[in-house]
Amino acid sequence: MGEAIVITSGKGGVGKTTTSANLGTALALQGKKVCLIDTDIGLRNLDVILGLENRIIYDLVDVVEERCKVHQALVKDKRFEDRLFLLPAAQTTDKSAVNPEQMKKLILELKQDYDYVLIDCPAGIEQGFKNAISGADRAIVVTTPEISAVRDADRIIGLLEAEEELEPPKLIINRIRSGMMESGETLDVNEITTHLSIDLLGIVMDDQNVISASNKGEPVVMDPTNPAAIGYRNIARRILGESVPLMTMEKSKAGFFGKIKNMFSK
Amino acid sequence: MTKSQLITIKGTKDGLVLRLDDHCSFTELLSELKEKVQSSVLEGVSEVQLHLGHRYCDEKDMNKIQSVIHTSPHLRVSKVHSDVISLKECERKLIEKQSETYIGIVRSGQVVKADGDLVVIGDVNQSAQVIAGGSIYVLGRVKGIAHAGAQGNKDAVIAASWLEATHLKIADKIEIMTDELTILSEQPEMECAYLQKNGQIAIDRLQELRYLRPDLATFKGGI
Ligand SMILES: Nc1ncnc2c1ncn2[C@@H]1O[C@H](COP(=O)(O)OP(=O)(O)OP(=O)(O)O)[C@@H](O)[C@H]1O
Ligand SMILES: [Mg+2]
């Protein structure tokens, strides 16, 4: 039986969907059987990032309302033979169309056939969040190095810790700009992990190719040389139980000068 | 028949001490008090300490006694001693003396409440709240909101390894930790917040707590 992992954040737009797509792809690249579920009903995105939008016939709401069987609704990513599938969100209704009990049942069913079920959670702490976490065994909290994102992550971690069926959540810090971090313009990795005091699963660099790759429908993680892709691949290996050291942040020129400037301004 | 003395008056260096009999009826007591107050020849203003003995007086009774005494322009009640308190008040005092312990991080949006003292082993993050009827002691950083003496206990304190709260409340007084106040604590390490006599919340080093609030200590005697 597989494992269900929810990817959540509290604050919107910090990279939950990007992380779901890239981790799902990375795990499939490692030979695992993965099913991604988009629970952002009404605002679906995951299908676009994976380039599967045109192939959707049924969606999550069709499945829970038993208009079709699960396997009919799953969209296969042809790049990975039989290892990567997406259960898309409905676009025409809202989050109240599904309840936590239905999600639990659905995820339990999917765990029979897949090694990993990754659940892309909508922003916020309302119904959509409750649906997304209800069937999960583990949770990953995504934040960026911004104070507002970290604050919302703290709130979400509190809610996740209150769920007895969930293991302690783990953290991904996304969109790191080494220059800004080194010059103290954003919180650094250490400050964030101390403040939130949960385990760090990994960090992902801010990289413009993440956006262009998503637009092409081909997650950036497919490019093994891209710095953000390396971050996602490392995280996938840690999920598989390997111990991979935290990658050292690339020292960009801006970062170096930023640091010197900072020294003088003190 | 000579009436036994229901009220005895004694002059001390701290003013007058009025001992009120605790066996007679309340109306009897009041009427004798009236007599005594009116017949007394006094100059200036004297502070009066009332000793009620084992008579239980609620707020209404207390108001009656005080208004009788204050019919004389020379008398002012400064203190009231009583050997009894109501069950309710006793329970409240007992509860406020109890201590509850929370281990873990109080996160944004979470509220941890205790009827008595509250010990938190962990941080209180931004936008998180800890509320106690008694005092709050945090082995960690307070970065959020702390409210001690939530039922009105003005002697309650907030003590922490790092006191960097955004809001401090003691009894019904609230302090937003603006820059002016935080300047008082450039190094927010090992500090405590308490309510001053003037009604302002102040912050001091933890070492001062034993002088500021000696009654918080329950450990009596030396080694
Ligand atoms: N590491 C990164 N580098 C550069 N851009 C990124 C990175 N991660 C995410 N982005 C971009 O940030 C935007 C928001 O990402 P995404 O849609 O994954 O966030 P989300 O948390 O799922 O948002 P929502 O709360 O709306 O569901 C997208 O344009 C995405 O391409
Ligand atoms: Mg999303």
Question: Could you report how far apart the first and last alpha carbons of chain A are, in Å?
Answer: 56
Give which of B148, B141, B128, B150 is closest to B209, Cα–Cα: B148
Instruction: Please report, rounded to a whole number, the percentage of residues in chain A having pLDDT higher than 70.
Output: 93
| B110·A151 Cβ contact <8 A | no
DSSP assignment of A211-237 equals HHHHHHTS-GGGSTTSHHHHHHHHHHH
- What does the pLDDT profile of chain A (266 residues) look like in tens digits? 999 999 999 899 999 999 999 999 999 999 999 999 999 999 999 999 999 999 999 999 999 999 999 999 999 999 999 999 999 999 888 788 899 999 999 999 999 999 999 999 999 999 999 999 999 999 999 999 999 999 999 999 999 999 999 999 999 999 999 999 999 999 999 999 999 999 999 999 999 999 999 999 999 999 999 999 999 999 999 999 999 988 766 443 334 444 444 444 43
High-pLDDT (> 90) share of chain B, %:
60
- Indicate whether B72 pLDDT > 80: yes
pLDDT class for B88, splitting at 50, 70, 90?
confident
Q: Which residue shows structure tokens 């006694």?
A: B65
Structure tokens at A228: 């953000």
Asked whether the predicted pLDDT for residue B186 surpasses 90, the reply is: no
pLDDT of residue A250: 44
Which position has the higher pLDDT, B179 or A59? A59
pLDDT in tens, A107-157: 999 999 999 999 999 999 999 999 999 999 999 999 999 999 999 999 999
pLDDT: is A251 or B7 the higher one?
A: B7
Three-state DSSP at A117 gives strand
CB contact under 8 A, A195 and B107: no
Kindly state the tokens that stand for B208: 């001062």
pLDDT of residue B175: 87
Query: What does the pLDDT read at residue A266?
Result: 38
Q: Which of A151, A157, A161 sits opposite B126 (nearest CB)?
A: A151
pLDDT tens across B25-68, in order? 999 999 999 998 888 777 788 889 999 999 999 889 999 999 99
Distance between Cα A212 and ligand 2 center (Å): 16
Beta strands in chain A (DSSP E): 3-8, 34-38, 75-76, 84-87, 116-120, 138-143, 170-176, 200-205
Q: Token pair 């009656």 is at which residue?
A: B64
Enumerate residues 6+ apart whose C-beta is below 8 A from A129. A8, A121, A122, A156, A159
Shortest CA distance to B145 belongs to which of B164, B162, B160, B166? Answer: B166
Q: Where are the domains of chain A?
A: 3-265
Residues of B in contact with A149 (CB under 8 A): none
Q: What's the A24 CA to ligand 2 centre distance in angstroms? A: 14
Beta strand B15-20 with B7-12 is antiparallel
Ligand 1 pocket, residues with Cβ under 6 angstroms: A 9, 12-18, 40, 45, 122-123, 174-175, 204, 206-207, 210-211, 214, 228
Residue nearest to atom 25 of ligand 1 (CA): A12
Q: What is the pLDDT of residue B176?
A: 86
Q: What atom of ligand 1 comes closest to residue A18's alpha carbon? A: 18
Structure tokens belonging to residue A207: 């990289």
Q: What is the pLDDT of residues B119-172, one digit of tens each?
A: 999 999 999 999 999 999 999 999 999 999 999 999 999 999 999 999 999 999
Structure tokens at B207: 């070492």
Report domain extents, chain B. Answer: 7-81, 96-216
Ligand 1 atom nearest to A21, measured from its CA = 18
pLDDT class for B182, splitting at 50, 70, 90? Answer: low
ipTM surpassing 0.85: no
Contacts of A161 in chain B (CB under 8 A): 104, 107
- A151 with B127: Cβ contact below 8 A: yes
Tracing tokens 């008398």 back to the chain, one arrives at B75
State in Å: Cα A44 to ligand 2 middle: 7
pLDDT digits (tens, 9 = 90+) for B190-218: 999 999 999 999 999 999 999 999 988 88
Report the phi/psi class of residue B92: left, alpha or beta, with left for phi > 0 and alpha for psi in -120 to 50: alpha
Note the pLDDT tens digit of each residue in A188-211. 999 999 999 999 999 999 999 999
pLDDT higher for B219 or A25?
Answer: A25
> Which of B102, B105, B107, B139 is the best mutation test for A, with the most CBs of A within 10 A?
B107
The CATH fold of domain B96-216: Pectate Lyase C-like (2.160.20)
- CA B73 vs. chain centroid, Å, equals 29
**Class of A3-265 per CATH?**
alpha beta
Query: Which CATH number is correct for B7-81, 3.40.50, 3.30.70, 3.30.750, 1.20.1460?
Result: 3.30.750
